[in-house]
């Protein structure tokens, strides 16, 4: 694994080492010692998987509020996604900065998202599977988000948005909530 810092943030793009032969390939996707050597204190407590059927679908922008802000590792194991994170920590020098990358089996990458970042993605192909390792348990009452098209953030999605859940469409703008 090779860890690449995203901008000035403490988020990391993780380039995976793929070992291939005539049988196929093998890739390590988690190693506590490697993460610790990189200065990332992350221990998975939960794993999740989402399947998105249609290209253009956006899921996000999601986060979990304090005191249970959630760090996570995201990997796309089928299809291709445009993955987006936004630093929403009030005191962070990188507050409001947007980081985006493509993830999929062909990219051999995954993304470490620190606590205090919002996360979302757009399916660039049909039939996308995204897997998450979570650093803290999901707490329904602390689940939160903001709109994918919030003008305060200005995320540029690479494709027209074709599908959005009713919940994601209903998130209030950050300015309306006094969060910005």
Q: Which residues are catalytic?
A: 62, 132
The candidate with the shortest Cα–Cα distance to 99, out of 75, 81, 119, is 119
CA distance 9 to 24: 35
Task: Report the 3 state secondary structure along 31-89.
Answer: CHHHHHHCCCCCCCCEEEEEEECCCCCEEEEEEECCCCCCCEEEEEEECCEEEEEEECC
Q: How far apart are CA 60 and CA 113, in angstroms?
A: 14
Q: How many CA atoms lie within 13 A of 33 on its CB side?
A: 1
């Amino acid at each position: 694994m090779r860890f690449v810092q995203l901008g000035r943030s403490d988020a990391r793009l993780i380039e995976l080492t793929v070992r291939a032969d005539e049988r196929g390939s093998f890739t390590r996707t988690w190693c506590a010692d490697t993460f610790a050597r990189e200065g990332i204190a992350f221990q998975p407590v939960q794993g999740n998987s989402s399947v998105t059927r249609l290209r253009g679908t956006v899921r996000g922008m999601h986060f979990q509020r304090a005191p249970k802000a959630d760090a996570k590792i995201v990997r796309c194991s089928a299809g291709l996604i445009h993955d987006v994170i936004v630093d929403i920590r009030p005191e962070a020098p990188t507050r409001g900065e947007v980081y985006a990358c493509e993830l999929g089996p062909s990219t051999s990458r995954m993304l470490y998202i620190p606590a205090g970042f919002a996360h979302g993605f757009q399916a660039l192909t049909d039939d996308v599977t995204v897997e998450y390792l979570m650093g803290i348990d999901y707490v329904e009452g602390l689940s939160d988000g903001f709109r994918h098209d919030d003008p305060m953030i200005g995320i540029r999605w690479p494709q027209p948005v074709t599908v959005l859940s009713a919940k994601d469409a209903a998130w209030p703008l950050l300015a309306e909530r006094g969060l910005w």
